[in-house]
Structure 1
Amino acid sequence: MRTEVLIAGFGGQGVLLAGNLLSYAAIDEGKNVSYFPAYGVEKRGGSATCTVVIADGTVGSPVLGQPAVLVVLNQASLERFGAKVRPGGLLIVNSSLVDITELNRSDITIIPVPMNDIATDLGDLRMVNMVAVGAYVALTGAVQMESLSTALSQALPERNHRFIPANVKAIETGAQVAKSKKEA
């Protein structure tokens, strides 16, 4: 098995933490992982992306020219990467912030998830990344949901461990909403 994802958004949305969490969960499951973060010079508001490749066997380069799965958290990321999704691939969109009407892709599956709205309803907009991870895992099965819960203690600094239950709730909610959108 091999899965790959490009997660893209702006600084402050937790893109790199989302990729890091996926990586820890996959490692905990005994899988091989390549994690490649990239971000602009700004701390908040600049471009932030990461690729995560998870495989049972050898993992090569983390560079994805045509990702099988793209998770976009903001409009600029859709404009930059939307056309690069491999035909037959999956695009998971933060429909709270992203308008897909101009994309014109009928060769991929597009799942809109109102990630910002969900995170806000759960009490903290900063959990948009956890909603995204939950949606991604529910739609792809890249790792087990339980592995994400366990990996949070590795991905989050110890001072933030008190937020693990809230993050687990955000992951679960993102997963539920994504599944319901796929079935609709």
Structure 2
Amino acid sequence: MKKEIIISGFGGQGGLAIGKNLAEAGMAEGLNVTWSPSYGPEMRGGTANCSVVLSDKPVGSPVFAHPTELIALNEPSLEKFEAGVVSGGQVFINSDVVTDKVSRSDLTAYYIPCNTIADEIGNPKVSNMVMLGAYVAGTGILKPETIEQMIQEMFTGAKAKFVPLNIEAFRRGCQCVR
């Protein structure tokens, strides 16, 4: 098993955090992983993306041309990366930001209203956790319990109050795909 994932959006949308969470959860589950962020100097508001590899075999290179999955958090990301996704791949789209639809019939597309769900929960900053939940549920590559444990470890001390909010966002994202 090998997943090669591109996560892309505007800086500040949490795409790099999604990738880092996937890589750390993969390590926790005994997978071989890489996480390669890429962003310009403008960061917040500029384009940011990362590449993640999750594999049960050693990873030869963190660089790949054709992802098995794409997480598109904005319109330019879908336009830039859709063509490279392997046939039979999956595309996860933040439908609150991206108005275009996947143009290829050989891909499975999931349209997740990340911002709407985050607003319903009460904090727009957790929209990335919604998308992380959708990805985990859609691919089945990682156990939801692993991600929830990581969320608990990520927010400690004064930030512990954010654990329930982030777990709820993650679970709501999972429900979008189940």
TM-score range relative to shorter protein: over 0.9
1:88-167 aligned within 5 A:
88-101=88-101, 103-155=102-154, 159-167=158-166
Question: What whole-Å deviation, never above 9, does each CA across 1:90-114 have from its counterpart, x for those lacking one?
Answer: 111111111224x421111111111
Any residues of structure 2 matched to 1:45-64 within 5 Å, and which?
45-64=45-64
Partners of 2:12 and 2:123 in 1: how far apart?
13
Instruction: Name the residue aligned to 1:40.
Output: 40
Which stretch shows the higher mean deviation, 169-178 or 92-101? 92-101
Does the C-alpha gap of structure 1 residues 82 and 175 become closer, same or farther in structure 2, counting only changes over 3 Å? same
Contact 2:5 2:51 (8 Å CA) reproduced: yes
Evaluate the alpha carbon distance shift between residue 157 and residue 5 of structure 1 in structure 2; reply closer, same or farther with a 3 A threshold.
farther
C-alpha displacement of 1:29: 1.1
Higher relative contact order (CA 8 A, sep 6+): 1
User: Which runs of no fewer than 5 residues in structure 2 stay unpaired?
Assistant: none
Whether the 8 Å CA contact 2:155–2:162 is kept in 1: the answer is no
Q: Would the alpha carbon gap of residues 7 and 156 (structure 1) be closer, same or farther in structure 2, given more than 3 Å must change?
A: farther
Structure 2 counterpart of 1:2: 2
Answer yes or no: is the 8 Å Cα contact 1:25–1:150 preserved in 2.
no
Between the aligned residues of both structures, percent identity stands at 42
Aligned pairs (5 A) from 1:12-31: 12-31=12-31
- For residues 162-177 of structure 1, the aligned pairs below 5 Å read 162-177=161-176
| 3-state SS, counterpart of residue 49 of structure 1 | strand
Q: How many residues align?
A: 178
Distance across 1 between alignment mates of 2:55 and 2:28:
13
Deviation at 1:159, TM superposition (A): 4.8
Taking the aligned partners of 1:167 and 1:79, their CA distance within structure 2 comes to 29
Moved more, 44-53 or 154-163: 154-163
Partner SS for 2:54? strand
Structure 1: gaps of 5 or more residues: 180-184
Q: Secondary structure at the match of 2:109?
A: strand
Tell me if the contact between 1:6 and 1:64 (Cα under 8 Å) persists in the aligned partners: no
Contact 1:21 1:155 in 2 (8 A): no
